């Protein structure tokens, strides 16, 4: 019951579609019962020697035509329910993904998230479009037929009721083990999806190290586990189906035998006997339909648990109910006694950090790997929220701002430039969708990217493919710079923008960066300390703490941590 509530809660806004689909199925069953009763009336007249009734024959023809229309409409409504369910669930799941942001999902496996977004919702679609309507019919129709048959003959009604209760209650004994096995199967299926995506994305590495046969065997093992869990689930489901089949076939046989016996004793007239024969099957058919739909329910249980856990996650930074507007124009940045840790177990990674970057200044963050540099950038972008202290942009607390407005004031150029599988133009206008072609070209020229873009097969309309893997690192980085030029935000964040580039390309990128940062408040993270010599101020981080702060020449003269970092790089 709790699992069913979990599933229904995931798509409560499609309940009217489910009710509509259930109503259409009830009408279809009603039309079948009407046809059975009309046929009994026609045949009863023949058996009595009265001949077929013209009115009954006409009603039968109308009922048959109506059933065709209702079946067609029922399928259309079921398809609409399926489509709406998937659309709304996917929209909600993607909205949750955006809400959680990189601060929450950075440790998640991409393959598991992808499987969750696609396969889990596909499993739930069948639950809403097929299983729930079948369940409604299985509750309403048998009781209605039992009540009607009991009114005609209490013995027949009581006998049928016994088998209806058996078909409804006995399968419940299988529900708990079925749900448990379904959840176990779904867990290994998610793991398989994650491993497969890893293998595809890391194919070059697997081939280069000769590890592809080993990874293939690992995937085969996980596939075997998925198959094994599926067979175990199917084994229990077949036991459940056998109980339902025994109750439905046995119930029909016993009730029809009793009706024939009572007719032979003269306690039922021929028309009532024929009507009983035809409607008894309709009373038990919904349980057979429900048994066929129960497999969709089983898949949904495992998927629902995963989705429910996904929706239950809380974002590291949430929007305030009444956000303050982000100041316009040039903006300064201030960190005031900011501390942060990703979890209690990992402890604090940023300790009591305070600094200020005035409007138009460039402040560099340097230090060994793991010192907390990238975490400070994540805090500024509100991907995560500080445990203590506050961050001010333009004098306003970032926690009181609308997050999209805050990020609209910040342009980011990072070490890992991600380019989407669209055209060059679409990737550049990601930062400013309404930019004109002339503005796009101007930004590309400023980033020294226009020349190589025009040499691509279709220029700015060239489709890059997934993450533009056919472009060089320098070309990809120049597109990232062009995107930042086009955004023209008052705050610029540079996170290792020249890492992994050769000296010539790095010089080109640095020249473009100097042009890009002119007049902007800039935070730059760099391991190559030669790239931050001209910064207005340098913050030296060690174990999440600011241990030194000042200009390059002053920090070198101090012969502290910064000077040791300089010496280590010069030796290298």
DSSP letters of 139-152?
Answer: HHHHHHHHHHHHHH
pLDDT the model gives residue 298: 67
pLDDT the model gives residue 391: 92
Q: Length of the chain, please?
A: 572
pLDDT the model gives residue 1: 45
DSSP 120: I
Per-residue pLDDT of the chain (572 residues; tens, 9 = 90+): 455 565 666 666 677 777 888 888 888 888 887 777 777 666 666 555 565 566 667 777 888 888 888 889 888 888 888 888 788 888 888 888 877 777 666 656 666 777 777 777 777 777 787 888 888 888 888 888 888 878 877 888 888 888 888 888 887 777 777 767 777 777 777 777 777 777 776 776 676 667 777 878 888 888 888 888 778 777 777 777 788 888 888 888 888 888 788 777 777 777 677 777 777 887 888 888 887 777 666 667 667 777 777 777 777 777 777 888 878 888 899 999 999 887 766 677 889 999 999 988 999 999 888 888 888 988 998 888 898 999 999 888 988 888 888 888 888 888 777 888 788 898 889 888 888 999 999 888 888 888 889 988 888 998 887 666 678 878 888 888 888 888 888 998 888 877 666 677 777 777 777 877 888 898 988 877 777 888 889 999 988 899 999 998 888 888 888 888 888 766 54
What gap in Å lies between CA 225 and CA 233, rounded to an integer? Answer: 12
Q: From its phi and psi, is residue 103 left (phi > 0), alpha (psi between -120 and 50) or beta?
A: alpha
**CB of 287 within 8 A of CB of 71?**
no
pLDDT the model gives residue 295: 65
Strands 545-550 and 537-542: antiparallel
Instruction: Quote the longest CA-to-CA distance of the chain.
Output: 120
pLDDT the model gives residue 572: 42
DSSP 376: H
Distances (CA, A) of 94 to 82, 111, 114, 115: 18, 15, 11, 13
Element (H, E) at 506: helix 503-517
Say what the pTM is. Answer: 0.68
pLDDT the model gives residue 355: 92
What gap in Å lies between CA 23 and CA 16, rounded to an integer? Answer: 10
The CB-based long-range contact list for 328-332 (8 Å cut-off, 24+ gap) reads 329/394, 329/490, 330/359, 330/360, 330/490, 330/519, 330/521, 331/359, 331/393, 331/394, 331/409, 331/490, 331/491, 331/521, 332/356, 332/357, 332/358, 332/359, 332/361, 332/392, 332/393, 332/394, 332/395, 332/521
What gap in Å lies between CA 398 and CA 515, rounded to an integer? Answer: 27
Tell me how crowded residue 370 is: count the other CB atoms within 10 A of its CB. 13
Tell me how crowded residue 376 is: count the other CB atoms within 10 A of its CB. 26
What gap in Å lies between CA 463 and CA 565, rounded to an integer? Answer: 42
Helix (H, G, I), strand (E, B) or coil at 431: coil
Domains and CATH numbers, the chain: 14-312 (1.20.1560.10), 322-409+520-572 (3.40.50.300)
Helix (H, G, I), strand (E, B) or coil at 344: coil
**CB of 443 within 8 A of CB of 428?**
yes
Helix (H, G, I), strand (E, B) or coil at 264: helix
């Amino acid at each position: 019951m709790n699992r069913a509530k979990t599933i229904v809660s995931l798509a409560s806004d499609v309940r009217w579609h489910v009710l509509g689909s259930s109503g259409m199925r009830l009408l279809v069953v009603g039309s079948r019962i009407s046809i059975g009763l009309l046929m009994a009336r026609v045949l009863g007249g023949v058996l009595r020697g009265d001949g077929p009734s013209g009115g009954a024959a006409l009603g039968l023809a109308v009922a048959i035509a109506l059933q065709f229309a209702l079946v067609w409409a029922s399928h259309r409504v079921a398809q609409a329910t399926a489509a709406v369910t998937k659309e709304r669930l996917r929209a909600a799941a993607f909205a949750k993904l955006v809400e959680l942001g990189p601060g929450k999902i950075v440790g998640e496996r991409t393959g598991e998230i992808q499987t969750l977004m696609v396969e889990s919702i596909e499993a739930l679609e069948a639950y809403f479009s097929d299983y729930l309507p079948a369940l409604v019919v299985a509750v309403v129709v048998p009781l209605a037929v039992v009540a009607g048959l009991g009114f005609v003959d209490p013995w027949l009604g009581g006998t049928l009721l016994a088998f209806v209760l058996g078909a409804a209650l006995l399968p419940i004994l299988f529900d708990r083990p079925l749900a448990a096995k379904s959840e176990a199967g779904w867990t290994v299926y998610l793991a398989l999806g994650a491993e497969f995506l890893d293998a595809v994305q890391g194919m070059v590495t697997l081939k280069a190290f000769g590890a592809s046969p080993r990874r293939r065997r690992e995937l085969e093992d996980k596939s075997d586990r998925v198959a094994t869990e599926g067979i175990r689930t199917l084994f229990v489901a077949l036991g459940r189906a056998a109980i339902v089949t025994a109750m439905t076939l046995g119930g029909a046989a016993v009730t029809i035998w009793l009706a024939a016996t009572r007719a032979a004793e003269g306690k039922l007239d021929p028309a009532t006997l024929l009507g009983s024969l035809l409607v008894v099957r309709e009373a038990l058919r919904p349980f057979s339909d429900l048994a066929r739909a129960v497999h969709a329910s089983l898949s949904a249980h495992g998927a629902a648990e995963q989705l429910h856990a996904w929706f239950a996650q809380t974002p590291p930074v949430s929007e305030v109910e009444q956000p303050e507007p982000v100041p316009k124009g040039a903006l300064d940045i201030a960190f005031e006694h900011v501390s942060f840790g990703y979890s209690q177990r990992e402890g604090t990674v940023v300790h009591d950090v305070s600094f200020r970057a005035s409007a138009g200044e460039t402040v560099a963050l340097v230090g060994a790997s793991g010192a907390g540099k990238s975490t400070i950038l994540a805090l500024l972008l509100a991907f995560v929220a500080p445990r203590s202290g506050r961050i001010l942009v333009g004098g306003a607390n970032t926690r009181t701002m609308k997050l999209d407005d805050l990020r609209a004031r910040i342009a980011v150029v990072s070490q890992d430039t991600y380019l989407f599988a669209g055209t060059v133009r679409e990737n550049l206008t990601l930062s400013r969708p309404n930019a004109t072609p002339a503005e796009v070209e101007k930004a590309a020229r400023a980033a020294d990217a226009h020349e190589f873009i025009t040499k691509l097969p279709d220029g700015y309309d060239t489709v890059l493919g997934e993450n533009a893997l056919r472009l060089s690192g320098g070309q990809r980085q120049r597109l990232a710079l062009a995107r930042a030029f086009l955004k023209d935000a008052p705050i610029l964040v540079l996170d290792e923008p020249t890492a992994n580039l050769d000296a010539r390309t790095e010089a080109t990128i640095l020249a473009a960066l100097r042009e890009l940062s002119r007049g902007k408040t800039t935070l730059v993270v760099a391991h190559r300390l030669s790239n931050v010599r001209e910064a207005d101020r340098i913050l030296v981080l060690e174990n999440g703490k600011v241990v030194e702060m000042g200009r390059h020449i002053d920090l070198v003269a101090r012969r502290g941590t910064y000077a040791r970092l300089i010496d280590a790089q010069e030796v290298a």
